[in-house]
Amino acid sequence: MTLLERAALSLLHRLDPEVAHGLSIKALQSGLAPGPGPVTSPGLATTMAGLSLPNPVGLAAGYDKNATALAPLSRAGFGFVEVGAATPRPQPGNPKPRLFRLTEDRAAINRFGFNNDGMEAIATRLAARTLGPVPVGLNLGANKDSADRAADFATVLARCGPHVDFATVNVSSPNTEKLRDLQGRAALAALLGGVMETRARLARPIPVFLKIAPDLTEADLAEIAEVALASGIAGIIATNTTLSRDGLQSPHRGETGGLSGAPLFEKSTRTLARLSQLTDGKLPLIGVGGISTPEQAWEKIRAGASAVQLYTAMVYEGLSLIPRIAQGLDTLAKKHGFARVTDATGTGRDRWL
């Protein structure tokens, strides 16, 4: 981390977290945070669900909700970028304050509630983007007051799908009431069936991923794996934020919402490893939750991930973390005798089961 980046982070941490988040987006739009471009090498280049990634380190959804900083994020060192979540109609989300830094825990709690500009505005921005060197995907969401939330996911895919490289069905946010109920067997099968029918009608069918919660029982995970394998989706993202508050030190630990960051690492990695076992390598998995070092990204890969995503760690480490993790993965693969990072996928799964 450079002195300039350290000073910028220090300044942002003196501000309200949501204000600081908005300023970081503006800094990217203004070119104040130039990136190195995609970090790649023969050992980092990855093919996942038909997507060609310069490296397996991606940006998780939630940072660029409205697809307003696509170009600079594509140059930040990521191997792929996910924006959103987008809902059919614009919505303001939950009342503020709704984002909290848990500095003592290197974590954050949010209860945004899918605040976004709506699919029309987001689709327009996605359509206008200059096709860059990294795949860009969209997280699909549902409106809070929708009469048919399951149909919302297909609606957003139909409108935005032609302008992205992949899409993610997000039924795991804890901040929209009863949204996680859609992870049950019957509801999930029906929802994914509708989404995949819509995907088939796109001129360019794109990979569709499913993002799941970390707070699932063994039986829940088994059902999700079964439905996912039968549905034809491209893969699973494990995991979203948690409702758990175990072991937290921050005075904000009692805030309502989803917890992300360092405390999520073990819970999300165990979920990832179990999914890897249940799907037996038939679906690529993306590991998310608590990654802030190359070693932690490597653990996700060894637990069963073909790629990883991060977000909260950037609050504490800045954008320079991205190339540092990608380059670190390359080094770790070579150190352990693997020609490519993804050759290590699942090789350390058993220690998490």
Round the average pLDDT of the chain to a whole number and report it: 95
Asked whether the predicted pLDDT for residue 193 surpasses 80, the reply is yes
List for the chain the helix, strand, coil content (%; round to 5).
40, 15, 40
How far apart are the C-alpha atoms of 2 and 101, rounded to whole Å?
22
How far apart are the C-alpha atoms of 351 and 302, rounded to whole Å?
10
Q: How confident is the model at residue 174 (pLDDT cuts 50, 70, 90)?
A: confident
Q: pLDDT, tens digit, for every residue of 48-105?
A: 999 999 999 999 999 999 999 999 999 999 999 999 999 999 999 999 999 999 999 9
The model carries a pTM of: 0.97
Q: pLDDT, tens digit, for every residue of 11-45?
A: 999 999 999 999 999 999 999 877 888 899 999 99
How far apart are the C-alpha atoms of 203 and 208, rounded to whole Å?
15
Residue the block writes with tokens 């935005």: 160
Of 24, 172, 173, 292, catalytic: 173
> In the chain, how long is the greatest CA-to-CA distance?
53
Do 263 and 248 meet the contact criterion of CB atoms below 8 Å apart? yes
Q: pLDDT, tens digit, for every residue of 102-151?
A: 999 999 999 999 999 999 999 999 999 988 889 999 999 999 999 999 99
Give residue 61's pLDDT. 98
Q: How confident is the model at residue 199 (pLDDT cuts 50, 70, 90)?
A: very high
Give residue 172's pLDDT. 79
Q: How confident is the model at residue 176 (pLDDT cuts 50, 70, 90)?
A: confident
Closest among 187, 198, 240 to 215, alpha carbons compared? 240
CA angle (62, 64, 66) in 5-degree steps: 105
Q: How confident is the model at residue 195 (pLDDT cuts 50, 70, 90)?
A: very high
The Cβ-side half-sphere exposure at 40, using a 13 Å CA radius, reads 15
Give residue 269's pLDDT. 98
**CATH topology for the 33-352 domain:** TIM Barrel (3.20.20)
> Catalytic annotation on 306?
no
Task: Kindly provide the residue ranges of all beta strands, DSSP E only, lying in 256-316, ordered along the sequence.
Answer: 258-261, 285-288, 307-310
Mean pLDDT, to the nearest integer, of 186-211?
96
Give residue 107's pLDDT. 98
Asked whether the predicted pLDDT for residue 245 surpasses 80, the reply is yes
Helix (H) or strand (E) holding 326: helix 321-335
Q: How confident is the model at residue 278 (pLDDT cuts 50, 70, 90)?
A: very high
